[in-house]
A = this chain, B = another copy of it.
């Protein structure tokens, strides 16, 4: 074979002394090929670097062509959107996606993840929040030589990641409510152990400060990113003597709870209370009134993260040896009927 020319199936057949049909059967891992013949074909294919498809590459033992998504109990639509984005890249690159459900509070998290990666032979991991933010996890993965990429990473750990600017997005939403004329804007905080919670609150605070407004404690209420915690938070906020004219909940599930509690108290949305959320999960469009929110491009984030992971796998370099490489994707503010100027 001439140097530099790409090997063909003919070259492999010739090298192994078998028919083209036999090469095809071996490289597609079909049954009814004698072990000795299989060995000869694989040796010839290796020598010629001829591995036309994932099955053949797997046979050659180079990679498993399997990656895994590690998650802990995210919102259903977040999980489904991330999966759709990852699958898009997997399909075109001949990879399979496995799932790794975690308990992000488990002390054994890092050890179990390393074991699972070894047992399942996955080539790399996509980590969703809050799993990716667990202290020490990324370091352990790096030390074990495991490639990973994080969605919405926060904290000091360096490495590959894809995110939106949560802080700026929350600033924009708060500024929009301020521009409508609201001056008492309540804020429902997210789960204290999720990195995004801090960023979104920072954005809210920064916008109030920009307008010279004080962040009164009575305007803040703790939530946990769940419907029920949104209801509880709204109860606290709406009980205040000078109740807010707008409430910005730092995710949509909590905003749904705020709307329920407001209606239960006989307040109209948006006439008596404007309500805004964050994420644009499907329920945002299903609520009555439809919810003003920030569209986080979760599917695109999953897709881009997977592309970065594959690039990293191909390059062979380990992420931890790199400086911080977090790409920010665009978010969008969606103004819907749940917000209006105060009366």
Instruction: Decide if A80 is an interface residue (CB 8 Å cutoff).
Output: yes
Shortest A31–chain B CB gap in Å is 10
Complex interface: chain B residues within 8 A of A79 (CB) = 76, 79-80, 83
Determine whether the beta carbon of B283 is less than 8 Å from that of A120: no
Which of A29, A99, A257, A260 has most chain B Cβ within 10 Å? A99
Shortest A133–chain B CB gap in Å is 21
- Across the interface, name the chain B residue whose C-beta is closest to A101: B87
| A229-253 Cβ-contact flags toward B at 8 Å (1 or 0) | 0000000000000000000000001
Query: How many A residues touch B, CB cutoff 8 Å?
Result: 45
CA distance A223 to B98 in the complex (A): 33
Which of A120, A257, A260, A281 has most chain B Cβ within 10 Å? A120
Determine whether the beta carbon of B96 is less than 8 Å from that of A97: no
Instruction: Decide if A58 is an interface residue (CB 8 Å cutoff).
Output: yes
| A89-103 Cβ-contact flags toward B at 8 Å (1 or 0) | 001001011111100
Determine whether the beta carbon of A260 is less than 8 Å from that of B282: no
CA distance A186 to B96 in the complex (A): 44
Shortest A315–chain B CB gap in Å is 21
List residues of chain A with CB under 8 Å of any chain B CB: 28-30, 53-55, 58, 66, 68, 76-77, 79-81, 83-84, 87, 91, 94, 96-101, 116, 118-121, 227, 253, 256-257, 259-260, 263, 281-283, 285-288, 290
